Amino acid sequence: MPVIPIARTLAHVIDKAYRAYRANQAYENAKTAAELAQLAVEINERRKQIKKVLQDTIEAMTREIDRKSSTFAAVDRGGNSTVSRRGKENVNFKEYIERKVPFRPAISQVCTVALQVPIKVPRRIRKKIAGDRVETTIEVALKQFTASLFFESVDEALEWRSPLKAEPNYNRSSQKALLGDPTTRPKRFGSAIQPFWPRPSSLAPDLVVVEYRQEPFEIENVFAAVEIKFPGDWVKQTQINDYARLMRPKTGANREKIGREKVALLRVPEDCTGSETDNRQPPTSKGAKNRR
C-alpha cells in the first residue's frame, strides 16, 4: 500500500482516539499523537499483564460458570468498618462497607495492582514563577481507569461471562442496562484508548457483580453494585443514593431496602482482602502495647 494512504488512515485513527481522549477530564491536556500511541501500547501491555496475574482466578471462574455469585458472598466478611479515612466515614457508610461482596479476593487483587502500578498520562499545567507563566508537565495516575481496564480484560478472557462487569451503563430513568454483543458484554461509547466513556443520562457503577453469569446484567440479575474508592477519592452520599435508586425494583415490597442492600462500598486498600488493615482490630495504644 502507498505511504500516503497509510499515513491518512493512521491520522484518522489517531484523530478519532484523540477526540475521545480529550473528552475525559483526566486526559484533557494530553496534546500529542505520540503520547496517545504510547498510551495505547501501555494499555495493551497491561491487559496482558493482568491476565497473567489472575490466571488462576480466570481458570476458576471458567470452571464455576454455572454457579450463582451469591454462593461466594457467604464466605465474605465484608469490608473494614473499624477504619475511617476522614471524619465518620466508617460510621456513615458502615452498612455499605460491611456488605458481603462475592469474589472480594479477586477484586482486591485487581484494585491493589491498580493502586501500585496505575496507568499514567501526562498533564500540562501552567505555573507562575517570578512573574512569568511557565508550562510544565506532570503525570496523572489513573487508578480507577486501570482497575476498570483490568476487570474488562478478565471479562474478555472469559468470553464476556465474568461475574464482574466494569462500569456498565444503565439508563437513569428506565433502569435498563445498555447491552453490547453478546448481551453479557457492556456496551461501550468511548474509544479503544478510553472505552469507559459515560453515556449522557446514564449511571455507571464502578463494578457490578451479576448473580447469573450467562445472563445480561440487568438490575434483576445484579447481586451487588460496588463503588470503588482509591486514596484521595472521597465517598459521596449522593452517589450512593443514586446507585440505590438505580438498583431498586420497580414493583413489590421493600423496594428501597432491596435497592440499598445491593450497593457496596470498597475502599482501596482499607476494604481489600489481605490489606494491612484487614485484621479488623482497632489500633493499640502505646500504654496497652507495653503491658505484659
Q: Indicate whether 71 belongs to any domain.
A: yes
Q: What are the residues whose beta carbons fall under 8 Å from the beta carbon of 129, sequence distance 6 or more?
A: none
Q: What is the pLDDT of residue 26?
A: 46
Q: What is the pLDDT of residue 44?
A: 86
* Mean pLDDT to the nearest integer, 29-42: 72
Residue 160 lies in domain: 3-279
Length of the chain, please?
292
Q: How far is CA 292 from CA 282, 287, 289, in A?
A: 19, 10, 8
Q: Indicate whether 284 belongs to any domain.
A: no
Q: What is the mean pLDDT of the chain?
A: 83
Place of cell 453494585: 225
Residue range 210-226, pLDDT digits in tens: 999 999 999 999 999 99
The answer to whether residue 264 scores a pLDDT higher than 50 is yes
Q: What are the residues whose beta carbons fall under 8 Å from the beta carbon of 245, sequence distance 6 or more?
A: 259
Q: Indicate whether 22 belongs to any domain.
A: yes
The answer to whether residue 276 scores a pLDDT higher than 60 is no
Q: What is the pLDDT of residue 1?
A: 47
Residue range 79-114, pLDDT digits in tens: 999 999 989 999 999 999 999 999 999 999 999 999
Q: What is the pLDDT of residue 21?
A: 43
* Mean pLDDT to the nearest integer, 149-168: 95
Q: Indicate whether 287 belongs to any domain.
A: no
Give me the number of domains the chain comprises.
1
DSSP 117-138: S-EEEEEEEEEEETTEEEEEEE
Q: Indicate whether 291 belongs to any domain.
A: no
Q: Which of 98-107, 124-133, 167-176, 256-265 has the lowest mean pLDDT?
A: 124-133
Q: Indicate whether 173 belongs to any domain.
A: yes
The answer to whether residue 130 scores a pLDDT higher than 50 is yes
* Mean pLDDT to the nearest integer, 110-137: 77
Q: What is the pLDDT of residue 101?
A: 98
Q: Indicate whether 286 belongs to any domain.
A: no
Q: Which three cell numbers stand for residue 78?
A: 465484608
Q: Indicate whether 290 belongs to any domain.
A: no
Residue 53: pLDDT band (50, 70, 90) is confident
Residue 145: pLDDT band (50, 70, 90) is very high
Check if the beta carbon of residue 156 is closer than 8 Å to that of residue 208.
Answer: no
DSSP 23-53: HSGGGTT---HHHHHHHHHHHHHHHHHHHHH
